[in-house]
Amino acid sequence: MARKASDVMVKALENEGIQYIFGIPGEENLDLLDSLKNSTIKLIVTRHEQAAGFMAATVGRLTGKAGVALSTLGPGATNFATSAAYAQLAGFAMMMITGQKPIRKSKQGSFQIVDIVENMRPITKFTKQIADGELVTSLVREAIRVAEEEKPGAVHLELPEDIAEQVTDAEIFPVHPVRRPIAEAKAIRKAIDMIQAATTPLLLIGAGANRKQTQKMLREFVDELEIPFVTTQMGKGVVTEAHPSYLGCCALSANDYEHVCIQRADLIIMVGHDVVEKPPFIMQHGKTPLVIHVHFYSARVDNVYFPQLEVIGDIANAIWQMKIGMAKQPHWDYSFIRKVKEDLEQHLLVGIDDERFPMMPQRIVSDLRKAVPDDGIVCLDNGMYKIWFARCYKAYEPNTLLLDNALATMGAGLPSAMAAALLYPKKKVVAVCGDGGFMMNSQELETAVRLDLNLTVLVLNDNAYGMIKWKQNAAKFDKFGLDLHNPDFVKYAESYGAKGYRVTTADEFSKLLQQCLHGCEKGVKLIEVPVCYTWANHILDHELPGIISDIMPATKPRISHSLSMATNEVQKPTKEQGERPASPPLQFSLPVQQPEPITETSEAEREVEKPEVNDTVEAEVVQPEPEESDVKIYPMYLANKAVTPNTDLDIIDKYTGKVAARCASAGPCDIDAAVAAAEKALPAMAAMASYERKAVLEKVVTEVKARFEEFAQALCMEAGKPIRDSRGEVQRLIDTFTIAAEESVRIYGEYAPLDISERCKGYQSLVRRFPIGPVSMISPFNFPLNLAAHKIAPALAVGCPFVVKPASRTPIGALMIGEILSRCNLPEGAFSVLPCSRNAADLFVTDERFKLVSFTGSPAIGWDMKARSGKKKVVLELGGNAACVVEDIVPNLETIVERIIHGAFYQSGQSCISVQRVYIREEIYETVKEALIAKAGTLLKGDPKDEKTFIGPLIAESEAKRIETWVKEAVNCGAKVLLGGKREGAFYDATVLENVHPEAEIHKEEAFGPVMELTPYKTFKAAIANVNQSKFGLQAGVFVTDLNKAFYAFEQLEVGGVCINDVPSMRIDSQPYGGVKESGLGREGVRYAMEDMTELRVMILKDVGQLA
């Protein structure tokens, strides 16, 4: 299809999964700007291109997918230089698109023209002008491919004005996952030999290890082998720093506790290190420690870094191979290192309670660490404080302390925090800047306020370029040229519409942090923190070197005989290798025997290497473990057929946390094929007779009944749903299919006489329902069986072909239904069940061949999907914060309590209609409250497979942590915890709160966890008004005896369903179900979903029945 090149470019970017473009358009971008107008990509206009570049780079850093920035030609493009270098050096995938004057014919001479492509050359991996509209799609694909490939970095495309408007029919290039080569077996073997032979091997984790699978593999490596680890600045948090094997971070290149450990080590396993990071330590010729370099690519040789062995290939896989190939050695000696770690931990406490004001940096770090939740994100600018954060701020999760130890640029702190807050609106995000660095991009406060970001900005004010002052002083230069005058930061923040605060005593700081991070007020907040570095600098310059020289081992360990043997063996050729030409000998000068040459491994040997890995920062990827015999493999269903093109999706037993099954994961091509097949199947589906459709539905009912326990156990495992509830859900699946079977034979139409006026004389009509066409179905994790059934069964009943995407955490239920359907008599292409990653899933929303998308899930995703779904019909079943009103004790207290407790806590509150808010009439409040607490306290928590368990794990630990944070926030705002309030891994206790602030997240948002709040009320009217004071409106429950009040509630409540004398959590599968306001659009419930999946057609009949 011929389209403007700028339109095609936007489509190509959408195809890459790009969600945001940051930048400032110029007149040369107007075509592209216009094309973005109707795109799913959000344009974020900033106040400086540099900030846009930093934001795009941070998207790359946090997601592994390229972030995109846009500018005009010349001045806009040159403003990108610093952020391009930032992304390029640090390894963040980022793409810049810049405009240019027309290249074919221009009337403006050389006005504003700079050769941007050449300008970008030294600071990007790829830079090109798009000289023809036909090339737009291939160049976008190539640029993104290059940006994301290891080592990720910056890329640039220039889109000239006349090319942007050129009409082209360039096709979009599909994105496919690329498997990375894995490390060569002999290199692994030698690495293992060296590590096992060493006396004190240490692990050093660098920036390149910050990839999702690598994090996991490294964690297992240190758990199992107990090898102590240090990190570079950008390797912080890859493995939790709460780990007993964590020693510290090399914030400095020498003279810190970590260097004592390194001096004591005879071997360092450097994982993901690149010399672009400031050296974590300095290697010396002929001396220990020896270094094994483990990375995606070989080591750049440098005076400070020249490893003796290189293990090149996918890091996660290499670490896994090493782990399984080696055992903890009895001769490994860490006694000295453990003592050093104890000393370091003591030293890290120095200054954390210091009362002095302006504040000491150690106390700032410590107070902030206490205030930020484990998954909160702290984004540093560049200044003196960075050293203290790197040394003292313990990162417990990856990507929670973002600092730049590559370009080390000032000015990135605020924009990077803005990008983090944009990507993760639920997380606490803090920017930490010096007064100098903050002012370099402070204009972006306006962008942050405009975007309504939740963000806290700390400006550490020493009225100086403190870091340079430190160096100036240490080098004994005169004090000169580094002092600053600053604006009033509080007023400055307020002038942008942000909140401004100033710390005036050291004690005030943590209170302000609590208020800004955990208070109920959202938005952008700035805290000016006066800081004094004099004493801290003295520690770095004088105290620390003294302490370190006292404990530093006088000599480096010798290379033991066994390590020397293991190292030499690296180069010993095997028989068959000896026959091949040898590579040149490795250049290293240890006082040991000269190494012999390494030769290449044959392809045949390579093939036996097992697990494949594709490790990106965020993507869902393969776990590089061998197939255990008890891990069941599920195929996916593509056009009615079981296929297993891969086993990429791990299904975790939510109780044990172990991989219990695997299934195939579909890519965009599979989804495309499924939709094409569904489209093709439509006529045959529509032509099926009612009894044939009924027979298919009945077959599902019969088979599920026969395999009842198998379904229940699978559900219990994959969802962590207590077995009692799992059985309940299987029964509901049966009910839903039974109702659909019954409804399938009574899709009645209407007859109407139309002779209502002279004009219509002789007319009559028939109105009938016809299948709407292929249906896209996205089902959630909390009811993987019955909510999939609520989409699948109505589609079968009316004859719509469909493609289901089950939740990737709980795909088994839908796959089991798929397995039954694959044996039913359905036209080819009638259905597909395709688990897939979120990126690939976009086609479920955007593909125009779907005529309806039926989504059940979170409001944020649902409404975003609606905005992107184009012309198709959309049904959204979203969340809520359901309320229950207790006006009367009816039929008795025991029943009310039993129902509310069930409604609030069954399946740990992970239901859209779980009871979250309970309003109780004042006079009976204490009685009901007491009884509820007593009953909730009896609920048993534990293994969901245990028949007695009521509270199982939440779907993921991160969810339990979210609830923990929300409850803490509510408590900070005055809430009282009447029961529970504790987390243990993925478990969260049944929790009852009182006096919850109306602005608290746990009140306003959907808790989706085992938490309910109690509130007394005076009048029934007030109670109903309270229920309505919510952005959601799914269902409500009312215990009431007065019929008038019951009807008043039915008429006044802004919800999709009212349950009288019951909790809102009741759903009957034949009844209409859905919400108003933020809770959704349209109704499910078999017959109502069937209505959505059909469209009316009227046949108007004129003068029929008259014979000539």
Interaction site with Mg ion (CB under 5 A)? 434-436, 462, 464, 466
| Region of 458-466, 818-826, 860-868, 1020-1028 interacting with ligand TPP (CB under 6 A) | 458-466
Q: Which sign does the torsion angle of CA 186, 192, 195, 198 carry? A: negative
Closest CB to ligand TPP: residue number = 434
Residue 382 makes contact with ligand TPP by CB under 6 A: yes
Task: Out of 184, 258, 620, 877, pick the active-site residue.
Answer: 877
Closest CB to Mg ion: residue number = 434
| Interacting residue with ligand TPP among 460, 539, 638, 714 (CB under 6 A) | 460
Strand 67-71: give its sheet, edge to edge: 42-45, 20-24, 67-71, 94-100, 154-160, 126-129
Residue 383 makes contact with ligand TPP by CB under 6 A: yes
| Interacting residue with ligand TPP among 237, 289, 307, 437 (CB under 6 A) | 437
Minimum CB–partner distance for residue 833 and ligand TPP (Å): 52
Phi first, then psi, for residue 90 (nearest 5°) are -80, -15
| Interacting residue with ligand TPP among 19, 137, 409, 776 (CB under 6 A) | 409
Pick the closer one to ligand TPP by CB: 466 or 1075: 466
Minimum CB–partner distance for residue 383 and Mg ion (Å): 6
Minimum CB–partner distance for residue 612 and ligand TPP (Å): 40
Q: Which sign does the torsion angle of CA 670, 675, 680, 684 carry? A: positive
CB of 287 closer than 8 Å to CB of 220:
no
Minimum CB–partner distance for residue 497 and ligand TPP (Å): 24
- How many of the other CB atoms lie within 10 Å of CB of 837? 21
What does 408 bind: ligand TPP, Mg ion, none (CB cut-off 5 to 8 Å by kind)?
A: ligand TPP
794's tokens? 């109505």
Minimum CB–partner distance for residue 435 and Mg ion (Å): 4
| Interacting residue with ligand TPP among 418, 431, 464, 797 (CB under 6 A) | 464
| Interacting residue with ligand TPP among 17, 25, 67, 411 (CB under 6 A) | 411
Minimum CB–partner distance for residue 414 and ligand TPP (Å): 11
| Interacting residue with ligand TPP among 368, 384, 414, 830 (CB under 6 A) | 384
Minimum CB–partner distance for residue 965 and ligand TPP (Å): 29
C-alpha 762: how far from chain center? 63
DSSP secondary structure code for residue 453 in this structure: -
User: Which spans in 282-350 are helix H?
Assistant: 315-325, 335-347
How far is 932 from 990, CA to CA, in rounded Å? 11
| Region of 231-239, 460-468, 680-688, 697-705 interacting with ligand TPP (CB under 6 A) | 460-468
How far is 265 from 673, CA to CA, in rounded Å? 56
Q: Which sign does the torsion angle of CA 110, 112, 117, 122 carry? A: positive
Pick the closer one to ligand TPP by CB: 279 or 645: 279
| Region of 62-70, 211-219, 403-411, 576-584 interacting with ligand TPP (CB under 6 A) | 403-411
Total residues interacting with ligand TPP, rule: CB under 6 A: 20
Place of tokens 């950008």: 234
Pick the closer one to Mg ion by CB: 383 or 722: 383
CB of 957 closer than 8 Å to CB of 986:
yes
What does 410 bind: ligand TPP, Mg ion, none (CB cut-off 5 to 8 Å by kind)?
A: ligand TPP
Q: Please list the residues that pair with 653 across neighbouring strands.
A: none
Q: What single-letter amino acid sits at 399? A: N
| Region of 15-23, 383-391, 836-844, 902-910 interacting with ligand TPP (CB under 6 A) | 383-391
How far is 34 from 24, CA to CA, in rounded Å? 14
What does 411 bind: ligand TPP, Mg ion, none (CB cut-off 5 to 8 Å by kind)?
A: ligand TPP
| Interacting residue with ligand TPP among 385, 655, 855, 1073 (CB under 6 A) | 385
How far is 351 from 676, CA to CA, in rounded Å? 66
Minimum CB–partner distance for residue 437 and ligand TPP (Å): 3
Residue from 261, 255, 266, 263 nearest 229 by CA: 261
Residue from 1080, 1068, 1053, 1043 nearest 919 by CA: 1053
900: exposed, middle or buried (C-beta count within 10 Å: 0-12, 13-18, 19+)? buried
What does 98 bind: ligand TPP, Mg ion, none (CB cut-off 5 to 8 Å by kind)?
A: none
DSSP secondary structure code for residue 207 in this structure: G
CB of 170 closer than 8 Å to CB of 133:
yes
CB of 85 closer than 8 Å to CB of 127:
no
Residue 877 among the catalytic residues = yes
Residue 462 makes contact with ligand TPP by CB under 6 A: yes
Minimum CB–partner distance for residue 485 and Mg ion (Å): 12
Minimum CB–partner distance for residue 607 and ligand TPP (Å): 48
Residue 410 makes contact with ligand TPP by CB under 6 A: yes
Q: What single-letter amino acid sits at 432? A: V
Phi first, then psi, for residue 871 (nearest 5°) are -90, -5
Residue 388 makes contact with ligand TPP by CB under 6 A: no
Map the footprint of ligand TPP across residues 975-1034, applying CB under 6 A.
none
What does 772 bind: ligand TPP, Mg ion, none (CB cut-off 5 to 8 Å by kind)?
A: none
Pick the closer one to ligand TPP by CB: 411 or 818: 411
What does 811 bind: ligand TPP, Mg ion, none (CB cut-off 5 to 8 Å by kind)?
A: none
Distant-in-sequence, close-in-space partners of 950: CB < 8 Å, separation ≥ 6: 722, 724, 905, 906, 939, 940, 941
How far is 927 from 923, CA to CA, in rounded Å? 9
Residue 925 makes contact with ligand TPP by CB under 6 A: no
Minimum CB–partner distance for residue 471 and ligand TPP (Å): 9
| Interacting residue with ligand TPP among 66, 194, 408, 904 (CB under 6 A) | 408
How far is 266 from 836, CA to CA, in rounded Å? 45
Q: Which sign does the torsion angle of CA 656, 659, 660, 666 carry? A: positive
- How is 100-142 classified by DSSP, letter by letter? E--SS--SSTTTT---HHHHHGGG-SEEEE--SGGGHHHHHHH
How far is 435 from 444, CA to CA, in rounded Å? 15
| Interacting residue with ligand TPP among 99, 466, 818, 980 (CB under 6 A) | 466
Q: How wide is the angle at C-alpha 396 spanned by C-alphas 395 and 398, nearest 5°?
A: 80
Residue 468 makes contact with ligand TPP by CB under 6 A: yes
Residue from 40, 45, 38 nearest 70 by CA: 45
SS3 label, residue 149: coil
Question: For residue 476, is it left (φ>0), alpha (ψ between -120 and 50) or beta?
Answer: left
How far is 834 from 815, CA to CA, in rounded Å? 8
First to last CA, the chain: 51
| Interacting residue with ligand TPP among 292, 364, 455, 467 (CB under 6 A) | 467
| Region of 302-310, 382-390, 752-760, 962-970 interacting with ligand TPP (CB under 6 A) | 382-390
Query: Which H helix or E strand runs over 156?
Result: strand 154-160
What does 468 bind: Mg ion, ligand TPP, none (CB cut-off 5 to 8 Å by kind)?
A: ligand TPP
Pick the closer one to ligand TPP by CB: 384 or 512: 384
| Interacting residue with ligand TPP among 53, 272, 373, 436 (CB under 6 A) | 436
Pick the closer one to ligand TPP by CB: 530 or 720: 530
Pick the closer one to ligand TPP by CB: 437 or 811: 437
Pick the closer one to ligand TPP by CB: 404 or 1013: 404
What does 385 bind: Mg ion, ligand TPP, none (CB cut-off 5 to 8 Å by kind)?
A: ligand TPP
Phi first, then psi, for residue 853 (nearest 5°) are -115, 130
Minimum CB–partner distance for residue 384 and Mg ion (Å): 7
DSSP secondary structure code for residue 332 in this structure: -
What does 400 bind: Mg ion, ligand TPP, none (CB cut-off 5 to 8 Å by kind)?
A: none
Residues annotated catalytic, as ranges: 877
Interface residue list for ligand TPP (CB under 6 A): 381-385, 408-411, 434-437, 460, 462, 464-468
